[in-house]
Amino acid sequence: MLRRIGALALVAWRHGMRMRLWVLVPPAILVLILADLYSPRFDPVFEGVPAAVSTSLLVMTVLAVVVGIFFATYAIPSEMESKVIYSVVTKPVHAAEVVAGKVLGMSLVLAAMLAAVGVGAYGYILVRASGVQSLAAERLAEARPRATYPADLNALQAVAESGPLKTYRYYDATEGPLITAEMGPEWQGPADVRWILAETGMRFAWPLGDTPLGEWASAGPCRLRVSLLMSPAPEKKPAPEAAEAKPEKPLPPQVMAGLLVPGKDFNRDAAAGREGMPSDQDAFDLPASGELEITVAPPQAPVTKGVLNFPASGEPALKVLALRSAGLVGARAGSLRIIGPQGQQHVVAAMPDVVAAEQRRRVIIAGRSTLPREMAVFRFADVKPQWLPQGDTAFEVGFSLDAWAAPTLQAEAKITFVRPDGGQKALLFHPEAHHSTVLQLDREFWHGGPLEARLESLTDDDNFGLLPESVQLRLGGGPYAWNFAKGILCVWLYGTVLAAIGVLVSTRVSWFVGILTAAVIFMLSSLRPFLLNSTPAAIVAAGMWVVLALVIAFLLLLRRRWTLWPRIGAVAGLLALATFFGFAATTVEKSPFEVWRIRVPGFVPEWVPWKFFVERVVVPLPDITAFLPHDSLSMGQAMPLADLGATFLLAAFGTLVLVVAGAILLRNREVAA
Amino acid sequence: MSDPQPVETLGLTKVYKDFWGRSKVHALVGLNLGIERGEIFGLLGPNGSGKSTTIKLLLGLIFPSAGKASVFGHAPGTPAVNQRLGYLPEESYLHRFLTGEETVDFYGRLFGLPPKERRRRTAELLDLVGLDRRARVRQLREYSKGMSRRIGLAQALVNDPDLLLLDEPTSGLDPIGTREMKDLILHLKSQGKTILLSSHLLADVQDVCDRIGILDRGRLKELGRVRDLLLVRDVFQLQATGVTPQAREAILSTARGAGATVLSAEHPTTTLEELFLRVVRADSAVPPAARRTGPPGAPGAPKPPAPADGNA
């Protein structure tokens, strides 16, 4: 069996080589060099090499897509068309061997091409890295005398000492980010008050199961009166440039309130009026007195702004979330009073719970120069001493922060490391928007075991968007070239899976239909994040361009005199154009603290069965992009061998499933019909 | 247990349908056929009569609409059947980017031949079909039609098959190649192979086949031994040499005296093929490799087919 698969793979390999697929290698290297040279000017010390690595891997991914989809999808239909398959399947081979041989052959072709491009790319990266060390040293000499926070210069010093080609092992926090606050004496206040901070996702929750609200609400409109304590608005230090500008009218403090049944959370988009108004939640202005009054209507009452409908089923809780302008909001036992339709009253005597947002991965902490200050806490459960590099006197702590400050603002931040014995070490630094920050932690202070990091912004109007991996311990990794090779291996696995998809679909359909099918599967899978986060109208608008391009491609492909290369060129060019226009016609946006999404001017009707499409088509699709190397690879993150092995096994399993499916399809096909 | 019949069909029917599943063409209707071990069976018929459809059904390239076919007692198209089968398609459907050597080697791999055996077999077969050393390392895309037929034949023989399915085996061959192909077929029969060939060239079939079946519009119209089918029982033919005019008259008068009606009495003519071969071979136009005889490594084998355009 293996011998026959090998024979078929060898033929597929020779096919690729004699079709001169290797001619794609020099242009690919040239493209990656040009793309890197003409990309926006990155900081040559910290971002030159990562940008070159990213561009290299991106170009290789495109190569993998082209070879994986176009060539693999061509393999079996071309043999059907030329009837070569007659001579193959009349030999003692199983359909599975035919399909496996094709996939393996394509994979070998791809491996050779990626290896060739990879060697060229690495040569370019070496060129890009040369001179960085001396540049860092010059910059360090210049910056050191003027540095406000010397900790900021550690990263520069590291580059000056050992160059930019370094790899790291990143250790993520085992818990966090958790929101807490540095309250200060003024805000510790009486013990019977609980506080929540605006924009942290923390909210008050009053369970309403034991109250008469449900019964009263079915009889007529009720009111909920919530007595909240409010902090004074923090003093703002105007930015120098903004001092003479017209002062902005301050926004009134707002809270969101909802009668939410278990499993349901606030929908911020809905509250902003983007998706229609929900019946069980709304935003309310908070008067200076802190007395919030909410009207509750029966479940079947029409949805009205500022009125919450009591849920038709389930036992709700009143949840209150402080929005950005509200600052610090407090509540105590007895803060919630329910007033029935006939004026009857019920006081909820219990202390409100303070709970976190459900299913919320990203948190935001607001910057404040005065107390109370929000903090994000990251906990590293137990870092084994043997994981730490031997001989070094300090470890690097990497940050990936979405800093949301005005460009002119020289933001300040503080990170405090806390040992289990209470020992603390604080470092001040200047965070840069969307850039990584690297600080160093002395080995004398900590040498393994549990560790807590508390991060806070000290600048008004500056926010941090944080993910669990935003604060990491960064320890030394392996050789850079080997790490780069691991990235290429991942691209190869990705291309192999794509090739298997291409071969699978082409066992039943013509080359053109096969390419369309494989391309649609590829696009749906690759655009999963967009599709899952974008509006139906946006998808339809973007999809229209793709469909238009595919129709034109189809018309072009009817020109039977065309050989393979013009066909591939036409389809690839049109898909590229479709992608360009698709994105140009829509808006791809990424708010600082949200995921990428597509937005579109509202000219497309909303009749698309979006929910069905997403739930039945997009979500079940395997995420083939999972095989691609992680973005952080370009930043020097060492890919653990175990991760590579797991990716390999996953790709092998996926390919095997695709091969078996392809074999079933091929075996039941009349190849000479 | 005795080996099952090489080929057996029972009510074999094939209807081609269009995209919507409507019957388009009845390519083969109720074919009942059995081919015995060691015989050469010819399927005759005009274009579109169902010859190629029958062969494709026996290879498992298409599936029957009704009836059944079996090859060596198994369903067609299974690896076990294909292991004993050689197939020469109507045209050489081979990878055009491979060289001649690579092609035979590739098919040898598919049959699981070990490397040493594969190398030996490749060399023998390329010798047998008369591809010289220069031609063996050229890609098939550069081959003439005759050369393509030769390499096609080599791949069909790579596994030393028990059953050969030859679809229009002499298509594209010149008279020398045609003769050599027929000689090869007869030689393979002498080795005990079973051969099913389809052709619309009647002379070729007549020369080599033991039995024939005549298909027309998908139906089997005639089936039997060639000699029996062609025998004209009420006519007697005498061929002799050294007959003087007097003797000729005496024979004719004797025949008439016995009540016979003499239909013709003249010198016979040879076939154009015989004349062509005599002339061309006298001029030594046949390449040495193509004149080699004998199966791989054995004396007395037939001559290999020659290309149509003498481009080899």
pLDDT 10s digits, A208-239: 988 999 889 888 889 999 999 876 554 555 55
Average pLDDT for residues A558-566, to the nearest whole number? Answer: 63
Measured between CA atoms, the residue of chain A closest to residue B156 is A87
Distance CA B31, CA A625 (A): 53
Same domain for A561 and A494? yes
pLDDT value of position A111: 93
* The last residue of a domain, from among A338, A355, A372: A355
Is the pLDDT confidence value at A615 over 70?
no
Same domain for A379 and A332? no
pLDDT value of position A169: 82
Question: What residues in A contact B109, CB-CB < 8 Å?
Answer: 3-4, 6-7, 10
Residue A382 sits at the vertex; the CA angle it makes with A381 and A388, to the nearest 5 degrees, is 130
- Is residue A513 less than 8 Å (CB to CB) from chain B? no
pLDDT value of position A585: 53
Sheet strand arrangement including A328-332: A193-197, A328-332, A229-230
Distance CA A145, CA A142 (A): 7
The answer to the question of residue A395 being in a domain is yes
Same domain for A548 and A407? no
Same domain for A308 and A419? no
Please say whether the beta carbons of A293 and A177 come within 8 A: no
pLDDT value of position A593: 42
- Dihedral over alpha carbons B16, B22, B25, B28 (to 10 degrees): 60
Report residue A108's pLDDT band, with 50, 70 and 90 as the boundaries: very high
Is the pLDDT confidence value at A124 over 90?
yes
How, if at all, do strands A424-429 and A193-197 pair?
unpaired
Return the top range by mean pLDDT from A157-161, A233-237, A532-536: A157-161
Residue predicted with more confidence, A605 or B88:
B88
Is the pLDDT confidence value at A339 over 90?
yes
The answer to the question of residue A155 being in a domain is no
Question: Phi and psi of A84, rounded to 5°?
Answer: -60, -30
The answer to the question of residue A594 being in a domain is yes
Is the pLDDT confidence value at A600 over 60?
no
Report residue A270's pLDDT band, with 50, 70 and 90 as the boundaries: low
Report residue A114's pLDDT band, with 50, 70 and 90 as the boundaries: very high
* The last residue of a domain, from among A428, A443, A476: A476
Least confident of A86-100, A143-157, A398-412: A398-412
pLDDT value of position A601: 46
Distance CA B179, CA A383 (A): 84
Q: Taking CB atoms and an 8 Å cut-off, how many pairs form between chains A and B?
A: 81
Of B77, B79, B94, the CB nearest to A84: B94
Report residue A434's pLDDT band, with 50, 70 and 90 as the boundaries: low
pLDDT value of position A582: 59
Domain tally, chain A: 3
Q: Write out pLDDT tens, residues A39-49.
A: 776 778 888 88
The answer to the question of residue A442 being in a domain is yes
Same domain for A213 and A330? yes
Query: To the nearest whole percent, how much of chain B has pLDDT over 90?
Result: 3
Q: What ipTM score was computed for the predicted complex, to two decimals?
A: 0.78
- Widest distance between CA atoms in chain B: 75
**At A640, is the secondary structure helix, strand, or coil?**
coil
Return the top range by mean pLDDT from A378-387, A653-662, B198-207: A653-662
Same domain for A465 and A399? yes
Residue predicted with more confidence, B5 or A602:
B5
**At B13, is the secondary structure helix, strand, or coil?**
strand
Same domain for A520 and A439? no
Same domain for A333 and A214? yes
* Domain range B7-231+269-291, CATH architecture: 3-Layer(aba) Sandwich (3.40)
Same domain for A522 and A428? no
Same domain for A495 and A603? yes
With an 8 Å Cβ cutoff, the interface of chain B facing chain A consists of 16, 56, 59-63, 77, 79-80, 82-83, 85, 87, 89, 91, 93-98, 102, 106-107, 109-112, 139, 152, 155
**Residue numbers of the domain that contains A607:** 2-129+480-667
pLDDT value of position A534: 61
DSSP A382-404: EE-GGGSPSS-SEEEEEEE-EEE
Is the pLDDT confidence value at A164 over 80?
yes
Question: Phi and psi of A525, rounded to 5°?
Answer: -70, -40
Least confident of A222-226, A265-269, A379-383, A487-491: A265-269
Same domain for A523 and A422? no
Return the top range by mean pLDDT from A511-520, A585-594, A640-649, B276-285: A640-649
Question: Phi and psi of B35, rounded to 5°?
Answer: -115, 130
Average pLDDT for residues A484-511, to the nearest whole number? Answer: 87
Is the pLDDT confidence value at A337 over 90?
yes
- Token match 């990491």: residue? A472
pLDDT value of position A392: 65
Is the pLDDT confidence value at A561 over 80?
no
Report residue B307's pLDDT band, with 50, 70 and 90 as the boundaries: very low
DSSP A22-69: GGGHHHHHHHHHHHHHTS----TTTTHHHHHHHHHHHHHHHHHHIIII
Same domain for A419 and A523? no
Question: What residues in B contact A11, CB-CB < 8 Å?
Answer: 95, 98, 106
CA distance B164 to chain A (A): 12
pLDDT value of position B303: 47
Q: Write out pLDDT tens, residues A627-647.
A: 788 777 877 788 888 888 988
Is the pLDDT confidence value at A390 over 90?
no
List chain B domain ranges.
7-231+269-291
- Token match 């080359």: residue? A511
Distance CA B81, CA A578 (A): 50
* The last residue of a domain, from among A320, A355, A390: A355
Mean pLDDT, chain A, rounded, equals 79
